[in-house]
Chain A
Amino acid sequence: MADKKEPILEIRHLGKSFGAHEVLKDIDFSVSIGDVTSIIGASGSGKSTLLRCVNLLEEPTSGQILYHGKSILDKNFSVTNYRARVGMVFQSFNLFANMTALDNCIVGQRKVLGRSSQEAREKSLYYLEKVGMIPFINAKPKQLSGGQKQRVAIARALAMEPEVLLFDEPTSALDPQMVGEVLDVMSKLAQEGLTMLIVTHEMAFAKDVSSSVVFMKDGVICEEGPPSQVLGDPKMPETREFLSRFMRNT
């Protein structure tokens, strides 16, 4: 379906091993402009590793990742420029502990994109407003709740105005009420057409916002398709089993 649009990211035959342990095997899929792709699967199925490979926080052992047709694993490829265009939101927020919420959003724009301090400030305020964190711009991360931290982290990633935003289980470290506030922000971004690649355990959310869902098991993509199919009427028995167990637990 997405073939008509030019893909931003193409992942081809991607493999990753930690020593003898093979975490990812022959992963193949692509992300095009405006896609919201959710990656689901049990813990240890390689979802997060896949996402970390896409952002080169882990070095893939085999295969290719193409960004606008260029290999990001190439020796001459500028990793820092690439990372500035492909943002990431972490499960553990990873806000800079020594800076206020506002400075967290400003620092990357100043240092990496070379924006003027005024421009960086305006953009930061714009995106902090979007995630509803304006009242807390002067707070340090340790003074914020988990949900607030994650919203600042999203604003920090957005302030770089990336082409794609990767979410690595953004709500897994949060309690139910805070999960809601973060998911609301993410739904809003999806509606605005931001290209997102989301590793999540929130099935209802994945069903509502995704344009496609990828189900992973034991390091391989087991099933892939629109959410209505993968989550509503899964073809593979593994997907069915995972979903039924998941529904029982929640």
Chain B
Amino acid sequence: MESEFISGIVRCWSKYSTSYLQGAGRTLLIAFVGTFIGCVIGFIVGLVQTIPITPKDPLPKRIILRIVKAILKIYVEVFRGTPMIVQAVFLYFGIRMVFGIGMGMWTSAFFVVSINTGAYMAETVRGGILSIDPGQTEGAKAIGMSHFQTMVSVILPQAFRNIIPQIGNNFIINIKDTSVLSVISITDLFFVHKSVVGALYLYFQSATIVMVIYLIMTLVISNLLRWLEKRIDGADNYDLATTDTLAMTSGMYNYPGSGKTGNRNLDTRGEL
């Protein structure tokens, strides 16, 4: 029994290893491009959603901003609230039928994954921006920075650091969820699995191979993102700038009690 299982795996792999790897490559490609474009969309939408509207703004600006925000909100709700598999079918077959223009299956695939990730990322980015201590914005305002300058120099770099885990989440979800794109004939890893099963009738064995490949891909991605997080955090220590050559100038650690692992946005505004 066991030897049959193992020999089945070996059979699948020896015969179709190239197909599996190609499928895995396509899965990675769609997931990567989709996550990347999705992040760009998410950042733009999230940024627009957090532009403050004040009564001081001229009326046309207020109206346009409100309309744009409403449209973006609808976009987020629609694409977050419907399954990707339905979106893929809807776009791939629907547009062809209604408008007579065919979107190729690859274009559809990239489009669906990007726009789907974008909807999720928009909320993530909005949350990331809101999570930054309002004192940061006030500090920037107090030296005369505009909303845009504050966002670019102060808020987004901090928000970005905080949402990297969520970007990683989306990437991993995309690697797995692109499997639904086999409904529009994308020859991803799952499609390869179905084909192999059709040829060899080795369901369990092929599924095992595919599971392991998916797992390897997601593990590699999550570790890469951890590494990126650490890099952005920078060193725990800093160099003391002094002309005293006898002083030990490097390896100064955090001020004791400032809480090295503590909350980054230390709230010290105690009421007195």
Q: Do A and B come from one complex?
A: yes
* Interface residues in chain A, defined as those with a beta carbon under 8 Å from any beta carbon in chain B: 43, 55, 57, 75, 80-85, 87-88, 90-98, 100, 107-108, 111-112, 134-140, 142-146, 148, 153, 156-157, 160, 169, 172-173, 201
A-side contacts of B135, CB under 8 Å: 90, 92-94
Determine how close the nearest CB of chain B comes to the CB of A144; give it in whole angstroms.
Answer: 6
Of the candidates A84, A94, A98, which one forms a contact with B138 in the assembled complex, judged by CB atoms under 8 Å apart? A94
Does any Cβ of A come within 8 Å of B226's Cβ?
Answer: no
B-side contacts of A201, CB under 8 Å: 272
Q: When chains A and B are docked, how far (Å) is the Cα of A122 from the Cα of B2?
A: 74
Chain B residue with the shortest CB-CB distance to A137:
B241
Does any Cβ of A come within 8 Å of B86's Cβ?
Answer: no
Quick check: B138 and A57 within 8 Å, CB to CB?
Answer: yes
Quick check: A90 and B144 within 8 Å, CB to CB?
Answer: no
B-side contacts of A108, CB under 8 Å: 140, 143-145
A-side contacts of B238, CB under 8 Å: 100, 136, 138-140, 143
Quick check: A135 and B240 within 8 Å, CB to CB?
Answer: yes
Determine how close the nearest CB of chain B comes to the CB of A169; give it in whole angstroms.
Answer: 8
Q: When chains A and B are docked, how far (Å) is the Cα of A172 from the Cα of B140?
A: 21
Quick check: A83 and B144 within 8 Å, CB to CB?
Answer: yes
Beyond A111-B153, A134-B241, A138-B241, whether A92 also contacts B268 by CB under 8 A is yes
B-side contacts of A93, CB under 8 Å: 135, 139, 268
Greatest chain A CB density within 10 A among B240, B257, B265 is at B240
Chain B 151-179 near chain A by CB (<8 Å), digits 1 or 0: 00110011001000000000000000000
Does any Cβ of A come within 8 Å of B149's Cβ?
Answer: yes
Quick check: B158 and A97 within 8 Å, CB to CB?
Answer: yes
Beyond A134-B241, A135-B241, A138-B238, whether A55 also contacts B268 by CB under 8 A is no
Quick check: A140 and B234 within 8 Å, CB to CB?
Answer: yes
Does any Cβ of A come within 8 Å of B239's Cβ?
Answer: yes
Chain B residue with the shortest CB-CB distance to A109:
B143
A-side contacts of B231, CB under 8 Å: none
B-side contacts of A57, CB under 8 Å: 138, 141-142
B-side contacts of A55, CB under 8 Å: 142
Chain A residue with the shortest CB-CB distance to B247:
A135
The dominant DSSP class at the A interface is loop
Beyond A75-B56, A144-B255, A173-B269, whether A90 also contacts B139 by CB under 8 A is yes
Quick check: A143 and B139 within 8 Å, CB to CB?
Answer: no
Determine how close the nearest CB of chain B comes to the CB of A196; give it in whole angstroms.
Answer: 15
Q: Tell me the B224-259 residues at the A interface (CB within 8 Å).
A: 234, 237-242, 252-255, 257-258
A84-B144, A87-B142, A142-B254 are known; give 16 further A-B pairs, CB within 8 A. Answer: A57-B138, A75-B56, A84-B143, A87-B143, A88-B142, A93-B268, A94-B138, A94-B142, A107-B145, A138-B241, A139-B238, A139-B252, A140-B234, A143-B237, A143-B254, A145-B258
Q: When chains A and B are docked, how far (Å) is the Cα of A145 from the Cα of B241?
A: 17
A-side contacts of B153, CB under 8 Å: 96, 107, 111
Quick check: A92 and B269 within 8 Å, CB to CB?
Answer: yes
Determine how close the nearest CB of chain A comes to the CB of B81; give it in whole angstroms.
Answer: 34
Q: When chains A and B are docked, how far (Å) is the Cα of A82 from the Cα of B266?
A: 29
Does any Cβ of A come within 8 Å of B267's Cβ?
Answer: yes
Q: When chains A and B are docked, how far (Å) is the Cα of A96 from the Cα of B260?
A: 17
Q: When chains A and B are docked, how far (Å) is the Cα of A144 from the Cα of B272?
A: 23
A-side contacts of B268, CB under 8 Å: 91-93, 146, 173
Chain A residue with the shortest CB-CB distance to B147:
A80
A-side contacts of B239, CB under 8 Å: 138
Greatest chain A CB density within 10 A among B142, B157, B238 is at B142
